[in-house]
Amino acid sequence: MGMKLGEKVAVESLEVELKAPTELKLAGTLSTPTAQAEFRRLLQDLHTDIVSAKTTAFAVDVQALSFVNSSAIRAFVDWISRAAHAGYTLAFKTSASVTWHRLSFSVLKSLAPATVEIIESRPAVAGGGHPS
């Protein structure tokens, strides 16, 4: 059984929250072997739940996920592959101010353009819209 709605799970410095039946929020950092293994298990369970619920579109908010190592990138690749085979889409909400979001998610999208959508937020410009 996967996560419950509204439940927050902390794995070392990684925070995971199922914000809505079709949206997961990830925050913090992911680098240790323990966190990597737990993250992979969590995504596998979530995929099973998504397929069981016949969900066609799922969102992943990574805006507050500041750092991951390459094992986490691999976990995203595997999830995208499973989603493509199962026939649901993944929309990643990213932040333009985080280098790895900006660079890696565009490449991840290119692996399965029909499966992956990137929704990039841009930081507000200080003082914008207020003429002096």
Kindly list the residues in this chain that would bind other proteins in the complex (CB under 8 A).
Answer: 12-13, 29, 31-34, 67, 69-71, 73-74, 77-78, 80-81, 99-100, 103-104, 107-108, 110-112
8 Å CB contact between 24 and 59: yes
Phi-psi region of 44 (alpha: psi -120 to 50; beta: other; left: phi over 0): alpha
Paired tokens of 119: 């929704």
Nearer to other proteins, 22 or 104 (CB): 104
Compute φ and ψ for 100, nearest 5 degrees: -70, -30
8 Å CB contact between 23 and 61: yes
